[in-house]
């Protein structure tokens, strides 16, 4: 099987590169992945997968950080102009740009779930001859949107896996669910899909990423340093007045926000592990002679564990309320994103390591990544699967990068696509060798 599988992976490599470059050129950020979603849906339907689309895979009210209706409509129209497949667009209108594809082998067995994300970053891509996407003609054409974190690769790997599993459908048992998730950036998309139950029947779950500083030929089978996080937008509303003539009649929203910013960065840390808080944006005021009536902040909290993050977030809420009360203004807090911490299941990590070794593609195989990391909302899927008795992990496939993640010069060695596909394929094809008892 190994030689035959390697040949099938090699045949799919060119397709994956093509998908990746097409998605890269027409980059779409969170909840706006209209074109991307239609192309994925078309490919999966052609293969014969059972599809759940759009509102079927979300709890609508649980979505976070969704753009306004005008922005959604504008980008849906742009997607159509850029080659989106029109018959699929009604499923994704309103930013419901998620897909769950299921393939049943026809033989009894467990359900294996794989999650890939599809969204780009809000960032303008470099347009210089030295930047390969520009030089080779697949640089993003969309303003302030670029795949600078590798999600174009993840989507291409997901499509490659869909093809590989269809080609080998007579060689494995059980079911496979492929989850194509929107809006991972800002940790906005997974929670609403998890609450819709898309992984409630998944016994073994794997999420993936490329890069993160690992060289080509390295793989981490159980990334477990993601921090729990909460992303908040805060609006302070006071009362404007003449700053010279009647300052006492105003309520200064800017001062409330400034006080809050200082207070937030003074929150005590927690003995349970590392914590973070950051005020990333503070905007206020309209003129030098006007007491500011509006102020807006964008903040985030993080914690090594869910408990630590909850502590920091609760204290942040108290600081915001206190600052508003101090200056006699109102405040409103809107949840824009969230993720949990999650520890991969050791026995599933061990099985992933065995399959990575079987590919003979890796010279460095790591069970756990010790380095500090950001946050990832695939942890919602992981925690749900584990809570229902299943196993879960997060796998990182190394690749050489032209620049770091979230940088306008980001690009990667596309050989990673085949490394990932070969490993994920073996997880399904060799699952009969896995021994963990019943779920």
Domains of the chain and any CATH numbers: 2-226+342-433 (3.40.630.10), 229-339 (3.30.70.360)
pTM for this predicted structure: 0.95
Parallel, antiparallel, or unpaired for β 175-181 and 111-117? parallel
Is residue 406 part of an annotated ligand binding site? yes
Is residue 74 part of an annotated ligand binding site? no
| Predicted pLDDT of residue 3 | 77
The helix or strand, by DSSP H or E, that contains position 165, with its residue range, turns out to be helix 151-167
| Predicted pLDDT of residue 225 | 86
| Predicted pLDDT of residue 383 | 97
| Predicted pLDDT of residue 435 | 76
Is residue 185 part of an annotated ligand binding site? yes
Is residue 149 part of an annotated ligand binding site? yes
Weakly modelled stretches of the chain, pLDDT under 50: 438-439
Quick one: 120 exposed, middle or buried, by C-beta within 10 A (0-12, 13-18, 19+)?
A: buried
Q: How far apart are CA 313 and CA 300, in angstroms?
A: 8
| Predicted pLDDT of residue 439 | 44
| Predicted pLDDT of residue 438 | 44
A 10 A CB-CB count for 297 gives 24
**pLDDT per residue as tens digits for the range 293-309:** 999 999 999 999 999 99
Helices (H), 327-393: 346-359, 378-387
| Predicted pLDDT of residue 1 | 54
Is residue 154 part of an annotated ligand binding site? no
């Amino acid at each position: 099987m190994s030689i035959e599988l390697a040949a099938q992976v090699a045949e799919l490599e060119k397709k994956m590169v093509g998908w990746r470059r097409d998605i890269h050129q027409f980059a779409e950020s969170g909840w706006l992945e209209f074109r991307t979603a239609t192309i994925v849906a078309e490919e999966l339907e052609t293969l014969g997968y059972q599809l759940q689309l759009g509102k079927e895979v979300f709890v609508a009210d649980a979505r976070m950080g969704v753009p306004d209706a005008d922005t959604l409509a504008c980008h849906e129209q742009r997607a159509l102009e850029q080659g989106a497949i029109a018959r699929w667009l009604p499923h994704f209108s309103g930013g419901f740009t998620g897909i769950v594809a299921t393939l049943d082998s026809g033989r009894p067995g467990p359900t294996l779930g794989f999650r890939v994300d599809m969204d780009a970053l809000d960032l303008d891509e470099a347009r210089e001859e030295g930047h390969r996407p520009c030089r080779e003609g697949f640089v993003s054409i969309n303003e302030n949107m670029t795949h600078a974190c590798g999600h174009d690769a993840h989507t291409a790997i997901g499509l490659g896996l869909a093809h590989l599993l269809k080609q080998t459908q007579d060689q494995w048992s059980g079911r496979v669910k492929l989850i194509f998730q929107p809006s991972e950036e800002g940790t906005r998309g997974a929670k609403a899909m998890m609450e819709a139950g898309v992984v409630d029947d998944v016994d073994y779950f794997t999420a993936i990423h490329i890069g993160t500083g690992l060289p080509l030929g390295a793989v981490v089978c159980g990334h477990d340093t993601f921090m729990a996080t909460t992303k908040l937008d805060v609006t302070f509303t006071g009362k404007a007045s003449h700053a010279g003539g009647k300052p006492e009649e105003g309520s200064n929203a800017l001062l409330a926000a400034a006080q809050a910013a200082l207070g937030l960065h003074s929150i005590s840390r927690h003995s349970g592990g590392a914590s973070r808080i950051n005020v990333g944006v503070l905007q206020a005021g309209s003129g030098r002679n006007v007491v500011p009536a509006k102020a807006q902040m964008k903040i985030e909290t993080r914690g090594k564990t869910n408990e630590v993050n909850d502590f920091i977030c609760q204290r942040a809420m108290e600081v915001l309320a206190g600052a508003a009360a101090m200056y006699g203004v109102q405040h409103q807090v809107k949840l824009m994103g969230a993720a949990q911490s999650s520890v991969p299941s050791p026995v599933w990590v061990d099985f992933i390591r065995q399959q990575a070794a079987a590919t003979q593609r890796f010279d460095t195989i790591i069970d756990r990544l010790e380095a500090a990391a950001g946050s990832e909302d695939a942890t919602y899927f992981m925690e749900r699967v584990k809570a229902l008795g299943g196993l879960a992990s997060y796998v990182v496939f190394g690749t050489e990068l032209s620049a770091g993640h979230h940088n306008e010069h980001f690009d990667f060695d596309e050989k990673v696509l085949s490394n990932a596909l070969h490993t994920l394929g073996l997880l399904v094809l060799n699952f009969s060798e896995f021994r963990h008892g019943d779920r």
